[in-house]
Structure 1
Amino acid sequence: MFAEKAPSNAQEWSVSDLAGALKRTLEDAFGHVRLRGEVSGYRGPHSSGHAYFCLKDQNARIDAVIWKGAFSKLKIRPEEGMEVIATGRITTFPGSSKYQIVVESLEPAGIGALMALLEERRRKLNAEGLFAPERKRRLPFLPQVVGVVTSPTGAVIRDILHRLEDRFPRRVLVWPVRVQGETCAAEVAAAIRGFNALEPGGRIPRPDVLIVARGGGSIEDLWGFNEEIVVRAAAESAIPLVSAVGHETDTTLIDHAADMRAPTPTGAAEMVVPVRVELMAAVNDLSRRHVEASLRLVDRRRSDLRATARALPSAEALFSPKRQRLDLAATKLGPALMGNARRSENRLKEAYSRLVRYSPVSRLAAMRAKLDAVGPRPYNAVCRSVVLKNETLKQVGERLVVSREALLRAERTRIVQMNEVMKSLAERLDPAIKGQMTRKAKQLDAVSKLFDSLSYKSVLKRGFALVRDAEGRPLNSAEAVHDGQALVLEFADGKADATGGRIGTRPRPAKPRVLVAEEQGALF
Structure 2
Amino acid sequence: MSNFFDNDSPTNLTEFSVSELSGSIKRTIETSFDHVRVRGEISGYRGPHSSGHAYFSLKDDKARIDAVIWKGSFSKLKYRPEEGMEVIATGKVTTFPGSSKYQIVIEQMEPAGAGALMALIEERKRRFTAEGLFDPARKQLLPFLPKVIGVVTSPTGAVIRDILHRISDRFPVHVLVWPVKVQGEGSGDEVANAIQGFNALEPGGPMPRPDVLIVARGGGSLEDLWSFNDEAVVRAAAASSIPLISAVGHETDWTLIDYAADVRAPTPTGAAEMAVPVKADLEAQVATLSARLAGAMNRQMDTRRQNLRSLVRALPSLDQLLALPRRRFDEAAAGLGRSLELNTMNKRRSFERAAAKLSPDMLARRLVERKQKLTENAVRAERVIERLIERNKARLGRFDATLTAVPARLKAMTERSKDRLESLGRRADSAVMNDLRRARQSLVSQDRVLQSLSYKNVLARGYAVIRDENDRPVSRADGLSHGQAIAIEFADGRVDAVAGEGVSPPEPSAPQPARAAAVSRPARKSEPPAGQGSLF
- Same-fold call, TM cutoff 0.5: yes
1:446-465 pair list within 5 angstroms: none
Deviation of 1:168 after TM superposition, in Å, equals 1.8
Q: Please, which of 164, 178, 181 is the counterpart of residue 178 of structure 1?
A: 181
Deviation of 1:156 after TM superposition, in Å, equals 1.4
- Cα distance in structure 1, aligned partners of 2:118 and 2:389: 117
Q: Please, which of 384, 392, 396 is the counterpart of residue 368 of structure 1?
A: 396
Deviation of 1:279 after TM superposition, in Å, equals 1.2
Q: Please, which of 167, 171, 177 is the counterpart of residue 170 of structure 2?
A: 167
1:158-237 pair list within 5 angstroms: 158-237=161-240
The residue aligned with 2:34 is 31
The residue aligned with 1:101 is 104
The residue aligned with 2:483 is none
- Cα distance in structure 2, aligned partners of 1:88 and 1:199: 48
The residue aligned with 1:456 is none
Do the aligned partners of residues 385 and 11 (structure 1) sit closer, same or farther apart at CA in structure 2, a change above 3 Å counting?
closer
- Cα distance in structure 2, aligned partners of 1:382 and 1:266: 114
Deviation string for 1:468-516 (max 9, x for gaps)?
Answer: xxxxxxxxxxxxxxxxxxxxxxxxxxxxxxxxxxxxxxxxxxxxxxxxx
Aligned AA (1:260): V
Task: Give the structure-2-normalised TM-score.
Answer: 0.58
Q: Which has the larger radius of gyration?
A: 2
- Cα distance in structure 2, aligned partners of 1:361 and 1:36: 136
Q: Does 1:304 align with 2:332?
A: no
Report the secondary structure of 2:88's partner residue. Answer: strand
Which sections of structure 1, spanning at least 5 residues, go unmatched? Answer: 325-352, 398-524
Do the aligned partners of residues 373 and 38 (structure 1) sit closer, same or farther apart at CA in structure 2, a change above 3 Å counting?
closer
Report the secondary structure of 2:134's partner residue. Answer: coil
Report the secondary structure of 1:203's partner residue. Answer: coil
Q: Does 1:154 align with 2:182?
A: no
Same amino acid, percent of matched pairs: 65
Aligned AA (1:167): R
Deviation string for 1:272-324 (max 9, x for gaps)?
Answer: 1111211111111111111111112222233334444555678977xx8xxx9
Report the secondary structure of 2:106's partner residue. Answer: strand
Q: Does 1:264 align with 2:264?
A: no
- Cα distance in structure 2, aligned partners of 1:207 and 1:382: 98
Deviation of 1:176 after TM superposition, in Å, equals 1.7
Report the secondary structure of 1:53's partner residue. Answer: strand
Do the aligned partners of residues 17 and 368 (structure 1) sit closer, same or farther apart at CA in structure 2, a change above 3 Å counting?
farther
Which sections of structure 2, spanning at least 5 residues, go unmatched? Answer: 330-380, 424-536
The residue aligned with 1:86 is 89
- Cα distance in structure 1, aligned partners of 2:251 and 2:411: 124
Aligned AA (1:225): F
Do the aligned partners of residues 188 and 361 (structure 1) sit closer, same or farther apart at CA in structure 2, a change above 3 Å counting?
farther
- Cα distance in structure 1, aligned partners of 2:413 and 2:216: 118
1:401-480 pair list within 5 angstroms: none
- Cα distance in structure 1, aligned partners of 2:241 and 2:389: 93
Do the aligned partners of residues 368 and 87 (structure 1) sit closer, same or farther apart at CA in structure 2, a change above 3 Å counting?
farther
- Cα distance in structure 1, aligned partners of 2:173 and 2:403: 117
- Cα distance in structure 2, aligned partners of 1:41 and 1:72: 20
The residue aligned with 1:342 is none
Q: Please, which of 254, 257, 260 is the counterpart of residue 257 of structure 2?
A: 254
Do the aligned partners of residues 383 and 164 (structure 1) sit closer, same or farther apart at CA in structure 2, a change above 3 Å counting?
closer
The residue aligned with 1:122 is 125
Q: Please, which of 138, 141, 147 is the counterpart of residue 138 of structure 1?
A: 141
Report the secondary structure of 2:183's partner residue. Answer: coil
- Cα distance in structure 2, aligned partners of 1:385 and 1:128: 92
Q: Does 1:56 align with 2:59?
A: yes
Do the aligned partners of residues 98 and 381 (structure 1) sit closer, same or farther apart at CA in structure 2, a change above 3 Å counting?
closer
Deviation of 1:213 after TM superposition, in Å, equals 1.1
Q: Does 1:238 align with 2:241?
A: yes
Report the secondary structure of 1:125's partner residue. Answer: helix
Report the secondary structure of 1:37's partner residue. Answer: strand
Deviation of 1:28 after TM superposition, in Å, equals 4.0
Pairwise CA RMSD: 3.9
Deviation of 1:33 after TM superposition, in Å, equals 3.2
Do the aligned partners of residues 273 and 364 (structure 1) sit closer, same or farther apart at CA in structure 2, a change above 3 Å counting?
farther
- Cα distance in structure 2, aligned partners of 1:375 and 1:279: 108
Report the secondary structure of 2:252's partner residue. Answer: coil
The residue aligned with 1:290 is 293
Deviation string for 1:86-109 (max 9, x for gaps)?
Answer: 233322111210110123443210
Do the aligned partners of residues 246 and 379 (structure 1) sit closer, same or farther apart at CA in structure 2, a change above 3 Å counting?
closer
Report the secondary structure of 2:287's partner residue. Answer: helix
Q: Does 1:279 align with 2:278?
A: no
Do the aligned partners of residues 124 and 364 (structure 1) sit closer, same or farther apart at CA in structure 2, a change above 3 Å counting?
farther
Report the secondary structure of 1:295's partner residue. Answer: helix
- Cα distance in structure 2, aligned partners of 1:13 and 1:379: 136
Report the secondary structure of 1:243's partner residue. Answer: strand
Deviation string for 1:411-456 (max 9, x for gaps)?
Answer: xxxxxxxxxxxxxxxxxxxxxxxxxxxxxxxxxxxxxxxxxxxxxx
Deviation of 1:378 after TM superposition, in Å, equals 7.2
Aligned AA (1:369): G
- Cα distance in structure 2, aligned partners of 1:271 and 1:117: 31
- Cα distance in structure 2, aligned partners of 1:18 and 1:75: 38
Report the secondary structure of 1:194's partner residue. Answer: helix
Deviation of 1:186 after TM superposition, in Å, equals 1.0
Deviation string for 1:126-180 (max 9, x for gaps)?
Answer: 1111111111111111222222111222221222222222222222222222211
- Cα distance in structure 2, aligned partners of 1:386 and 1:147: 102
Aligned AA (1:367): R
Aligned AA (1:189): A
- Cα distance in structure 2, aligned partners of 1:385 and 1:132: 93
- Cα distance in structure 1, aligned partners of 2:252 and 2:15: 68
